[in-house]
Structure 1
Amino acid sequence: MSKKAELLEAIAGKNRGLLANEIDNVKVLSAIQQLEDTNPTKNPLEAKDLLNGDWRLLYTTSKSLLGLDRFPLLKLGQIYQCIRVPQAKVYNIAEIIGLPMLEGLVSVAASFEPVSERRVNVMFERSIVGLQRLLSYNTPAKLIQQIESGKKFLPLDFKIDRGDQKGWLDITYLDEDIRIGRGNEGSVFVLTKEVA
């Protein structure tokens, strides 16, 4: 079995990390490390065609992302990280599943700056929170087009003070369909590229 298949098997049934216990996390992190050791893209930030696109989260240890699932009557839906390399922008989009007609969305837009061959500094700039139907949301790509066109969304659309942000992300594995990243808060992210 390939290292990639071993990782995908380790995260299967873990609902992006929501259902993972400590033993599961140890197994997954071990499989991630083994796959990272075989990274076919030594300089991921130079592989712009591979990096650019919409990525769906398969697994994370990020408590802030997984914490979106804690609210009563709400469940965490799909989570996307959409990278627009030419604009040096990244869009994080979390779908929230609720009562019919009350499905929500939490999105954060950021810019990034490469600081090494695999690390980017991330500066969060804007946050959008609202009901999917009020935002006319149907796909991440459409939402991003609206954001990039300058559209303002109700009820919550606000700038994030750049202040003392010190966020960064290392891209530790990248191929045509899997990306692994490690963030400044110790979180790990495993994503798969969405095919247009």
Structure 2
Amino acid sequence: MATILVQPPFPASHIIPPNMMKTPRLVPTIHPRTSITRFGEFPFGSMPIYITRVTEQSSGLVGDETFTHIKSELYQALEGINRGIFGVPSAKKTEIEDLVKMLESQNPTPDPSLNLEKVAGSWKLLYSTITILGSKRTKLGLRDFISLGDFFQIIDVSKSKAVNVIKFNVRGFKLLNGQLKIEASFKIASKSRVDISYDNSTITPDQLMNVFRKNYDLLLGIFNPEGWLEITYLDDTLRIGRDDKANIFILERSENNSIISLD
């Protein structure tokens, strides 16, 4: 046992779940003449002294239970916002970014570019600060005619390749349902950053391409991944990244590895 001062990087109410918090013993404040505490009023010098002692913890401030708690809060914050693609209220955006920063500050994989085997496979987009608003949304028919399905990213580390897949559903025309596929190459730029180069893109089926043909450059400009990506958080099921355009991406590992072929 030792007397120590603990000052977490974030308020305890944000970092430590209520059932994990311990209430320290009270240290009364002494008034120059009398001291008033929950035990009553004491003349100066006659009040008992209480010393708070904190048990030293070798496991650190943030443990597995805390990670689980923060991730649970993040998942709850992401519910019902359609991945943020059509914008979210500023308060909600701030809430999400605060939770992201908490996870980033305790990243269990500090050198993700050197551990790319943890990045390989299929990922599903949960949230992005990329938005399609106003006239862009209207031009792309994303108000009533076309709806966005799931967003997936498939990463093949052995080939240094990544494929982004954006699903589309056309109301009343199932034959037009399809996807935009964007293929890219990446190379390691630092211990946490990769540089991404655009390779090619396709829309299938052809009927869906005909729908987007007039505004294809607009569509590609929104989803083109070219630039660099900083992997700021990585564990077995969740990945967070920030790109050179100040966007945030939150992805969850997907078990469906047969969504698309990288060949």
Shorter-chain-normalised TM-score: which range?
Answer: 0.7 to 0.9
Equivalent residue in structure 2 for 1:57, among 125, 150, 164: 125
Change (3 A) 1:172 1:16: same
2:148 is matched with 76
The answer as to 2:72 corresponding to 1:5 is yes
Equivalent residue in structure 2 for 1:104, among 167, 170, 178: 178
1:179 is matched with 239
Q: Secondary structure at the match of 2:174?
A: coil
Q: Which runs of 5+ in 1 are unaligned?
A: 135-155
1:119-157 alpha-carbon deviations (Å, 9 max, x no partner): 0110001011122899xxxxxxxxxxxxxxxxxxxxx8x
1:41 is matched with 109
RMSD value, Cα = 2.8
The answer as to 2:229 corresponding to 1:169 is yes
Q: Which runs of 5+ in 2 are unaligned?
A: 1-16, 18-68, 214-219, 257-263
The answer as to 2:249 corresponding to 1:189 is yes
Letter in 1 for 2:179: L
Q: Secondary structure at the match of 1:4?
A: helix
Report % sequence identity.
32
Please say if residues 90 and 111 of structure 1, whose CA atoms lie closer than 8 Å, have aligned partners that are also in contact.
Answer: yes
Change (3 A) 1:62 1:19: closer
Equivalent residue in structure 2 for 1:115, among 181, 189, 192: 189
Paired with 2:206 and 2:230, the residues of 1 have a C-alpha distance of 31
1:144 is matched with none
Letter in 1 for 2:254: E
Paired with 1:62 and 1:166, the residues of 2 have a C-alpha distance of 14
Please say if residues 198 and 226 of structure 2, whose CA atoms lie closer than 8 Å, have aligned partners that are also in contact.
Answer: no
Deviation, structure 1 residue 170:
0.4
Q: Secondary structure at the match of 2:83?
A: coil
The answer as to 2:94 corresponding to 1:26 is yes
Structure 1 consecutive aligned stretches of length 4 or more whose deviation exceeds 2 Å:
63-72, 130-134
Letter in 1 for 2:155: I
Moved more, 171-180 or 99-108: 99-108
Deviation, structure 1 residue 19:
5.7
Please say if residues 69 and 76 of structure 1, whose CA atoms lie closer than 8 Å, have aligned partners that are also in contact.
Answer: no
Deviation, structure 1 residue 185:
1.0
TM-score, normalised by the number of residues in structure 1:
0.77
Deviation, structure 1 residue 45:
1.4
The answer as to 2:153 corresponding to 1:86 is no
Higher relative contact order (CA 8 A, sep 6+): 1
Deviation, structure 1 residue 169:
0.4
Paired with 2:190 and 2:174, the residues of 1 have a C-alpha distance of 45
Please say if residues 105 and 132 of structure 1, whose CA atoms lie closer than 8 Å, have aligned partners that are also in contact.
Answer: no
TM-score, normalised by the number of residues in structure 2:
0.59
Paired with 1:191 and 1:56, the residues of 2 have a C-alpha distance of 5
Change (3 A) 1:7 1:69: farther
Q: Secondary structure at the match of 2:95?
A: helix
Q: How many residues align?
A: 170
